[in-house]
């Protein structure tokens, strides 16, 4: 915890900044994680080949990190099997209060092919995205032979892009079949220069979604936010007081949740 880890740009493809194999009862917190390679990730979490639950990665908390893609990682953070043919599972995880920023290659910022997890109070600045690919903040999907994602809860995240890229889609949260029982609430997004944009694209089963908003006029403290504090919603903005009660007790800066709840990762 509390480290700065950077991938040198001269390393080969498939290099990761942090690769965790079967982490159990682990916290990854308060780090600056910078870099990533095409074919690699800034954080990769995997289990071992599943025979019993003892082989799985669990539980794990990834919190309060700066996750800055530089150097070409298309999928900066991935909680998923080693590869599509490998049943190496992760379950019981939390990803919270992280600041995700891309440099121009990332297009799936957080990929989840796992079960029983919570993603809350994260800020995804997707302003520098791969110009030829969809801009996706959180994607929940089955990668291969592992069980379908189940019970992934996505609360109070903020998604932003100032990119001018009308030829592709902006998707804050993408839930793909055969994912089941996903909950998506209190998320807030803005990508004013995209023609095609949505806060949720869903083909999963049993997905529950409410109180999510995407807007061209987010009413943040800065019209051009580039730091977490600048994503604070101002009074009267569409994020203020329009949320619903969820198991989130503080915001990105650890301020207590107001009543009624705000949308996104930062309270007004």
Q: pLDDT tens-digit profile of 233-243?
A: 998 899 999 99
**Element (DSSP H or E) covering residue 20:** strand 18-21
pLDDT tier, 13 (very low <50, low <70, confident <90, very high otherwise): very low
Give me the half-sphere count of Cα atoms (radius 13 Å) on the Cβ side of residue 266.
26
Tell me how long the chain is. 268
Residue 74: which of 45, 111, 46 has the closest Cα? 111
Q: Which of these, 4, 74, 1, 85, lies nearest to 44 by C-alpha position?
A: 74
pLDDT for the residue 129: 78
Beta bridge partners of 96: 63, 120
Q: What confidence category does residue 39 fall into, taking pLDDT thresholds of 50, 70 and 90?
A: low
For the segment 7-32, the average pLDDT, to the nearest whole number, is: 73
Higher pLDDT, 147 or 76: 147
Q: For residue 10, what pLDDT band results from cuts at 50, 70 and 90?
A: very low
pLDDT of 207-264, one tens digit each?
999 999 999 999 999 999 999 999 999 988 999 999 999 999 999 999 999 999 999 9
To the question of pTM greater than 0.85 for the whole model, the response is yes
The closest alpha carbon to 211, from 237, 189, 185, belongs to 185
Is-contact 167 135, C-beta < 8 A? Answer: no
Question: In this structure, how many other beta carbons lie within 10 angstroms of the beta carbon of residue 209?
Answer: 16
- Residue 124, Cβ neighbours under 10 Å: how many? 28
């Amino acid at each position: 915890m509390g480290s700065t880890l950077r991938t040198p740009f001269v390393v080969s493809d498939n290099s990761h900044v942090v690769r965790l194999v079967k982490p159990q009862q682990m916290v990854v917190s308060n780090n600056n994680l910078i870099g990533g390679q095409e074919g690699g990730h800034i954080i990769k979490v995997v289990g071992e080949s599943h025979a019993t639950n003892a082989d799985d990665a669990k539980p794990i908390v990834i919190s309060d990190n700066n996750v800055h893609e530089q150097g070409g990682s298309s999928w900066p953070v991935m909680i998923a099997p080693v590869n599509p043919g490998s049943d190496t599972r992760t379950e019981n995880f939390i990803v919270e209060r992280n600041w995700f920023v891309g440099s121009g290659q990332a297009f799936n910022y957080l990929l989840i092919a796992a079960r029983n997890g919570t993603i809350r109070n994260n800020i995804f600045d997707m302003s520098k995205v791969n110009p030829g690919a969809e801009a996706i903040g959180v994607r929940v999907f089955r990668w291969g032979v592992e069980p379908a994602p189940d019970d992934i809860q996505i609360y109070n995240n903020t998604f932003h892009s100032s990119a001018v890229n009308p030829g592709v889609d902006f998707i804050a949260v993408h839930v793909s079949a055969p994912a089941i029982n996903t909950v998506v609430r209190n998320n807030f997004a803005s990508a004013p220069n995209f023609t095609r944009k949505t806060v949720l694209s869903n083909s999963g089963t049993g997905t529950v979604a409410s109180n999510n908003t995407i807007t061209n006029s987010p009413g943040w403290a800065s019209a051009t936010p580039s730091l977490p504090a600048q994503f604070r919603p101002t009074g009267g903005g569409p994020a203020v007081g329009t949320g619903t009660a969820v198991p989130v007790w503080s915001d990105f800066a650890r301020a207590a949740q107001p009543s009624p709840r705000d949308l996104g990762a930062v309270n007004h």
